Amino acid sequence: MGDQAKLSVGGKEIDLPVLKGSVGPDVIDIRKLYAQTGAFTYDPGFTSTGSCESALTYIDGDEGVLLHRGYPIGQLAEQSSFLEVCYLLLNGELPSQAELGKFEHTITRHTMVHEQLSSFFSGFRRDAHPMAVMCGVVGALSAFYHDSTDISDPVQRRIASHRLIAKMPTIAAMAYKYSVGQPFVYPDNKLSYAGNFLKMTFGVPAEEYEVIPAVEKAMDRIFILHADHEQNASTSTVRLAGSSGANPFACIAAGIACLWGPAHGGANEACLNMLREIGTPDKIPHFIERAKDKNDPFRLMGFGHRVYKNYDPRATVMQQTVREVFDALKVNDPLFETALRLEELARSDPYFIEKKLFPNVDFYSGIILSAIGFPTEMFTVLFALARTVGWVAQWNEMIGDPGQKIGRPRQLYTGPTERDYVPLSAR
Ligand code: CMC
């Protein structure tokens, strides 16, 4: 594509600038389209629309590539740590040893939540879904941390970002503890980000909690795999909420609400439930037939992706991690065999081949999380915990963008045209 695209609307031809990113498809700039032609574009689901400029994360869905600030997700999952990835996403470059140490220190010192926030939990039913609790409690943070809600102040923005990354594991663990009726466990500054989360979730005050290094590493890697994923539904929600000037805690709560849906973050929970429903490999063909049946709403959860038309690179790492966790915990969930067989059968089926439906990040994650001891309701909470850095980094990028405007899409109106009100007595 050249530097200009030509568009003919109602006999009028206009030139539209073509923008080039550092890599990836060219983008046709239609910002002046309405002014020049009086027409809007129509793209529900944004399948062909770039909503912003971003230097954070790049995905090549056809090739199955995911880069954070240019670094491949496989390398980060293998060689980095979650907090280093957080630093990278927030600051653009990998930290030096000293920078990383300072960042880890800052995050660790922000892990406690205002003591009064604890009483907030008791307003929820014990059997509430933890994502419902997360929406409420994270939204409530703006009522507790007034000193970091002025979005025009870069220092306050940075403090809010650190607070959110640091407090999410504490709040997530509290949501779990509340649901099982156990006391909240305070953060332990000696532990790593992942180790601390495991202790706050599974530890009890009556006993010493020993972090199993292989599980801690797996947890950290799962966090890395979920850290960011460019303009997905929840991230776009955070950006849209933030575009009005809303405070960061409110924006992240909006992201959590969006992530909860089964087509997005809720898919990991739905996937494990599906694998349990399938049970044994002999039942797989029946479920594959159901997934292919247009008259049946059933879909293979953990399969397919809006962007990936190839193997999701996160699913590759996730599959390897299953074995590591099983070895460390000396467990072997037969559902893993079912999942492997399901993947094999689906990937040799013409329906899935033609539609380029491959396992996504959620396909194997539930098996690992279940082996570690998390109930299915907590799966999406863990996704939210890890994605918080992506949301926060994207939000910061948006606020710092001089071209940023309030998000305000237009529509194709198909309702009634103007008509006169009919009094009730005449209807
Ligand atoms: N099982 C069976 N058929 C499927 C599936 C599936 N999992 N996914 C897509 N299809 C079919 C779909 O029926 C459609 O067929 P047709 O063209 O004949 O109408 C075609 O593939 C394209 O699907 P689509 O719904 O138009 O694609 P989309 O880009 O709007 O949806 C998706 C992407 C992720 C919502 C969808 O693949 C899906 O529902 N997958 C299951 C849920 C899931 O695993 N979600 C997690 C996504 S990764 C984590 C995250 O980002 O949150």
Pocket lining: 357 vs ligand 1, CB cutoff 6 Å: yes
Q: What CA–CA distance (Å, rounded) separates 60 from 229?
A: 11
Interval between CA 21 and ligand 1 midpoint (Å) = 27
Residue 263: CB within 6 Å of ligand 1?
A: yes
* Cα-only R_g, the chain: 23
Q: Nearest residue CA, atom 44 of ligand 1?
A: 302
Which residues are part of the catalytic machinery? Answer: 305, 362
How far separated are the first and last CA of the chain, in Å rounded?
58
Residues 6+ apart with CB under 8 A from 91: none
The pLDDT score that the predictor gives to residue 101 is 98
Q: Residue 29's pLDDT is what?
A: 97
Tens digit of pLDDT for each residue in 274-301?
999 999 999 999 999 999 999 999 999 9
CB-based contacts of 64, cutoff 8 Å, min separation 6 = 308, 310, 311, 312, 313, 358
> Closest ligand 1 atom, CA of 229?
51
Give residue 153's pLDDT.
Answer: 94
CA 301 to centroid of ligand 1, rounded, Å: 8
What is d(CA 416, CA 396) in angstroms, rounded to the nearest whole number? 41
Cβ–Cβ under 8 Å, residues 33 and 39: yes
Query: Which residue's entry shows tokens 């600051």?
Result: 91
Q: Bin 2: left if φ > 0, else alpha if -120 < ψ < 50, else beta.
A: beta
Q: With a 6 A CB cut-off, is 290 part of the ligand 1 pocket?
A: no
Alpha helices in 122-247 (DSSP H): 130-140, 154-180, 193-202, 213-225, 233-243
- Cα gap 71→89, rounded to integer Å: 11
Q: What is the dihedral of CA 101, 322, 209, 205, to 10 degrees?
A: 100
**Directed axis angle between helix 379-399 and helix 154-180, to 10°?**
170
d(C-alpha 304, C-alpha 357), whole Å: 4
Task: Output the CA angle 133-268-294, nearest 5 degrees.
Answer: 120
CB atoms within 10 A of CB 286: 10
Residue 1: predicted pLDDT:
61
Distance CA 379, CA 376 (A): 5
Residue pair 284/342 in contact by the 8 Å Cβ criterion: yes
CA dist., res. 101 & res. 80, Å (int): 14
Separation between Cα atoms, residue 136 and residue 124, nearest integer Å = 9
Judge whether 106 and 114 are in contact, CB under 8 Å: no
Task: Give the DSSP letter of residue 359.
Answer: B
Using CA atoms, how far apart are residues 229 and 314, in angstroms rounded to an integer?
11
Residues 6+ apart with CB under 8 A from 155: none
304 lines ligand 1 (CB under 6 A): yes
The residue whose C-alpha atom lies closest to atom 24 belonging to ligand 1 is 306
Ligand 1 centroid vs 95 CA: distance in angstroms?
37
pLDDT digits (tens, 9 = 90+) for 43-91: 999 999 999 999 999 999 999 999 999 999 999 999 999 999 999 999 9
Q: Which of 299, 360, 361 to mutate to test the pocket of ligand 1 (most atoms within 8 A of CB)?
A: 299
Of 271, 293, 355, the one to substitute when testing ligand 1's pocket (max ligand atoms within 8 A of C-beta) is: 355
Residue numbers of the chain with a pLDDT score lower than 50: none
* Phi/psi at 262 (5° precision): -65, -20
Ligand 1 centre to CA of 299 (Å) is 8
Three-class secondary structure of residue 118 per DSSP: helix
* Mean confidence (pLDDT) of the chain: 95
Q: For residue 133, which amino acid is it?
A: V
309 Cβ below 6 A of ligand 1: no
What is the DSSP secondary structure assignment for residue 142, as one 8-state letter? G
